[in-house]
């Protein structure tokens, strides 16, 4: 691993320690010196040393075991109140001055020390001749001083402040210290001897190289750059914690267009780009504009109760605009002035006013034809339509029809095919298209457009035709008119990865938030 990569992986504590090593000239350093140099807590030093050894940046150079001696709580009590032998002599002398004396039992009765300690002290004093036992077991302090009591006194004072290395004491003192040190079976002792291992550490070769990069103060790690750091320039001394950038970030819900509408936006903008002007119409329509004006006879099977939604109230529009009503009626009955034979039935003007929910976008085109459209002119609408269908994977309660018209003297069957070729390229990126004879009640000739979509293969893209003169002339239009409609939902559904048309209008927010696709 490169030293820079190793450096980058270091924890600030490790950097601090390596800096301490480089400060001491890469010589072996003891852990206590490391503490001093790095100003870290002993626990931090030992933690960081552990990591550095694991990374093979530092190894142990030498290991020395030393014994240290210090006072226990008992020791501190002896220091304050005297050790048991001292206490015995002091107590006995006081009693003697007042002409009294104690027996062993009396001393025990004072409860100053536990009986075992007391009896050990009595044994010691008696052995060293500092006390004598008189008649009736009375204890008498002699003039002889106990050397052990003196030595203990000295040692207690010696260790009063801090613990010391055992070896720094004289041999006899060491013996005494060991004798009065806490060990198994005798917890109540004044001294404690601890073995400590002192190690010296030295950086490895890599460690030395990395240590050169480390210097005190480089180690402060921060997670966030703050305005203050930028103001005072202190960012220069910071180390910015590295992130684990491979983790997934938390989710948010951004503001977003609806994916299906996004698709329709694209279509809309393409149509505008091709010179189409948007037209709009009402959701509630008369049968007149929805069907009669499109030369669908009133007895047409697709006009039955099971195909169209009828409005409950009011059932009928107040009027249908003239002269369109009369002209359409005449066309249905006899062909009127259109050169057609007509359907040859009795046209019902009452039925013409019947209100329905718009069943086809062509109703919007019919209204446009009747409102002095531009010639030449191109129009489109994205009309919400309603069909009386059972709702299932291929039928929604309401849906959008993208359709329109092209008016102009130049319009004929071949320009119709030309327009469809443009649609194939623009809407489906298709280089190949095929035209099939089709049937729509309001166009003749009628064409079905099939295209080879680059991903979906051959598919039906739309239907079109030239409006019958029975449609255009009663509405006041004398030039030929192309009527076209595009079926683009399948492309949208494939792009969005859905198989059910109802999902285009999903009420499931999670679905809407996650639905995505590339349309272009």
Partner 1 sequence: MPTISFFQKDFEELLGRAAPPEQLESWLPLVKGELKDVTHATGEIRVELQDSNRPDLWSVEGIARQIRIKLQESPLAYPFLHAKAKPKRRILVAEGLDQVRPYVAACTATGYTVTEESLAQLIQVQEKLADLYGHKRKTVSVGLYRLPRIHFPVTYGLVKPTEARFTPLGFSEKLTLQEILTVHPKGMEYGSILAGQPLLPLLWDTEGQILSFPPIINSQDIGQVHAGDSDLLVEVTGTDMRMVLLTLNIFATNLADRGAVIEPVEVRYPYDTGWGKSIRTPCDISAVQKIPLKAIESALGLPIDSELVQQTLRAYGYEVKASRHTLAVRLPHYRSDLMHPVDVAEDVAISRGYDSFVPVMPAQFTVGSLSALEMMSDYIREHMVGQGFQEIFSNILLSHEELVERMRLPEDEQVVEVDNVMSQSFSCLRSWILPSLLRVETASPRAFYPHRLFEIGEVAIPDSSQELGSRTAVRLAIVIAHPHANFSEVHTCLDMLLFYLVKDYELEPLNHDSFLNGRAGTILCQGQPVGLIGEFHPEVLENWGISVPISAFELDVDWLCRDDS
Which residues within the stretch 248-267 sit at the binding site for partner 1 (CB under 8 A)? 251, 253-258, 260-261, 265
Applying CB under 8 A, the span of 83-91, 116-124, 135-143, 315-323 interacting with partner 1 comes to 315-323
CA quadruple 216, 221, 226, 228: dihedral, nearest 10:
-20
Quote the radius of gyration of the chain (alpha carbons, Å).
Answer: 53
Among 190, 203, 361, 480, binds partner 1 (CB under 8 A): 480
For residue 518, the minimal CB distance to partner 1 (Å) is 18
Tokens of 366: 């019919």
Site for partner 1 in 444-473 (CB under 8 A): 444-447, 466, 468-470
Residues 6+ apart with CB under 8 A from 486: 267, 402, 403, 423, 427, 461, 462
| Interface map 326-345 toward partner 1 (x if CB under 8 A) | ---------x--xxxxxxxx
Nearer to partner 1, 5 or 253 (CB): 253
Window 5 to 44, contacts with partner 1 (CB under 8 A): none
Q: What is the DSSP letter of 63?
A: E
Long-range contacts of 489-495 (CB under 8 A, 24+ apart): 489/399, 489/400, 490/456, 490/459, 491/263, 491/427, 491/428, 491/453, 491/456, 491/519, 492/260, 492/263, 492/517, 492/519, 494/455, 494/456, 495/263, 495/519
Applying the rule CB under 8 A, the residues between 486 and 505 that interact with partner 1 are 502, 504-505
Identify which of residues 236 and 306 has a Cβ nearer to partner 1 in the complex. Answer: 306
Residue with tokens 């004289």: 170
Our CB check for partner 1 shows the closer of 172 and 432 to be 432
In the bound state with partner 1, the residue whose beta carbon lies nearer, of 155 and 402, is: 402
199 binding partner 1? (CB under 8 A): no
Rounded CA gap, 22 and 27, in Å? 8
Q: Does 352 bind partner 1 (CB under 8 A)?
A: no
Nearer to partner 1, 419 or 493 (CB): 419
Q: Which of residues 131-190 bind partner 1 (CB under 8 A)?
A: none
Q: Binding residue for partner 1 (CB under 8 A) from 143, 510, 518, 520? A: 510
Of 109 and 418, CB closest to partner 1: 418
Encoded tokens for 236: 């220069």
Task: Tell which residue, 95, 102, 84, has the closest CA to residue 146.
Answer: 84
Q: Which residue has the tokens 């009669």?
A: 292
Q: How far is the CB of 413 from partner 1 (least distance, A)?
A: 5
State how beta strands 377-386 and 277-278 pair.
parallel
Instruction: Decide: is 441 part of the binding site for partner 1 (CB under 8 A).
Output: yes
In DSSP terms, which residues pair with 140 in a beta bridge? 132
Binding mask 386-425 for partner 1 (x = CB under 8 A): x-x-xx----xxx-------x-xxxxxxxx-xxxxxx---
> In the bound complex, what is the minimum distance in angstroms from residue 337's beta carbon to partner 1?
12
Nearest to 513 by CA among 222, 131, 255: 255
Nearer residue to partner 1 within complex by CB, 441 or 476: 441
Q: Is 301 in the site for partner 1 (CB under 8 A)?
A: yes
**In the complex, least distance from residue 243 CB atom to partner 1, rounded to whole angstroms:** 23
Cα-to-chain-centroid distance, residue 347: 66
Q: Residue from 146, 148, 286, 327 that binds partner 1 (CB under 8 A)? A: 286
Restricted to residues 354-393, the positions that interact with partner 1 (CB under 8 A) are 355, 357, 374, 376-378, 384, 386, 388, 390-391
| Site residue total, partner 1 (CB under 8 A) | 105
Q: Return the residues of window 212-251 that contact partner 1 according to CB under 8 A.
A: 251
Taking the C-alpha atoms of residue 439 and residue 171, their distance in angstroms, rounded to an integer, is 122
User: CB pairs under 8 A, 24+ apart, for 265-269?
Assistant: 266/519, 266/520, 267/382, 267/402, 267/427, 267/486, 267/488, 268/380, 268/382
Residue 232 structure tokens: 């005072």
The footprint of partner 1 on residues 75-134 (CB under 8 A) is none
Q: Is 283 in the site for partner 1 (CB under 8 A)?
A: yes
In angstroms, the Cα distances linking 159 to 184, 193, 216 are 22, 12, 37
Does residue number 479 form part of the binding site for partner 1 (CB under 8 A)? no
């Amino acid at each position: 691993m490169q030293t820079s990569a190793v450096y980058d992986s270091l924890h600030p504590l490790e950097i601090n320690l390596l800096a301490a090593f480089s400060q001491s000239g890469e010589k072996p350093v003891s852990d206590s010196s490391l503490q001093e140099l790095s100003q870290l807590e002993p626990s931090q030093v030992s933690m960081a040393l552990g990591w550095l050894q694991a990374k093979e940046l530092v190894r142990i150079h030498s290991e020395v075991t030393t014994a240290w001696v210090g006072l226990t709580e008992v020791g501190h009590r002896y220091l304050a109140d005297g050790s048991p032998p001292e206490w015995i002599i002091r107590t006995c002398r006081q009693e003697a001055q007042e002409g009294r004396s104690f027996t062993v039992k009396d001393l025990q009765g004072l409860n100053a020390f536990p009986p075992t300690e007391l009896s050990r002290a009595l044994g010691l004093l008696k052995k060293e001749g500092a006390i004598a036992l008189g008649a009736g077991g009375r204890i008498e302090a002699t003039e002889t001083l106990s050397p052990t009591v003196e030595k203990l006194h000295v040692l207690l004072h010696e260790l009063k402040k801090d613990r010391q290395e055992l070896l720094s004491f004289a041999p006899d003192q060491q013996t005494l210290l060991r004798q009065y040190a806490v060990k198994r079976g005798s917890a109540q002792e004044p001294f404690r001897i601890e073995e400590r291992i002192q190690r010296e550490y030295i950086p490895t070769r890599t460690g030395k190289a990395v240590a050169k990069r480390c210097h005190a103060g480089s180690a402060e790690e921060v997670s966030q750059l703050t305005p203050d750091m930028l103001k005072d320039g202190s960012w220069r001394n910071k180390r910015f914690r590295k992130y684990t950038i491979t983790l997934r970030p938390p989710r948010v819900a951004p503001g977003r267009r609806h994916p299906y509408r996004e698709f329709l936006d694209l279509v809309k903008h393409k149509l505008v780009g091709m010179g189409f002007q948007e037209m709009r119409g009402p959701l509630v329509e008369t049968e007149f504009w929805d069907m009669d004006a499109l030369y669908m006879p009133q007895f047409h099977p697709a006009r039955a109760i099971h195909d169209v939604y009828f409005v409950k109230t009011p059932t009928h529009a107040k009027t249908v605009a003239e002269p369109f009503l009369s002209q359409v009626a005449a066309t249905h009955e006899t062909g009127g002035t259109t050169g057609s034979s007509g359907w040859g039935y009795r046209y019902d003007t009452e039925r013409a006013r019947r209100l329905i929910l718009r069943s086809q976008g062509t109703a919007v085109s019919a209204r446009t034809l009747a409102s002095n459209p531009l010639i030449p002119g191109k129009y489109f609408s994205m009309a919400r339509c309603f069909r009386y269908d059972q709702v299932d994977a291929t039928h929604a309660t309401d849906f959008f029809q993208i359709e329109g018209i092209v008016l102009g003297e130049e319009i004929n069957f071949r320009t119709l095919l030309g327009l469809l070729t443009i649609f194939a390229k623009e809407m489906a990126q298709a280089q190949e298209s095929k035209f099939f004879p089709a049937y729509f009640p309001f166009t003749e000739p009628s064409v079905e457009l099939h295209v080879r979509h680059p991903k979906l293969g051959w598919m039906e893209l739309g239907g079109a035709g030239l409006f019958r003169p029975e449609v255009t002339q009663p509405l006041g239009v004398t030039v030929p008119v192309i009527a076209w409609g595009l079926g683009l939902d399948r492309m949208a559904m494939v792009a969005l990865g859905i198989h059910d048309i109802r999902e285009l209008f999903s009420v499931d927010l999670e679905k809407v938030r996650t639905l995505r696709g590339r349309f272009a």
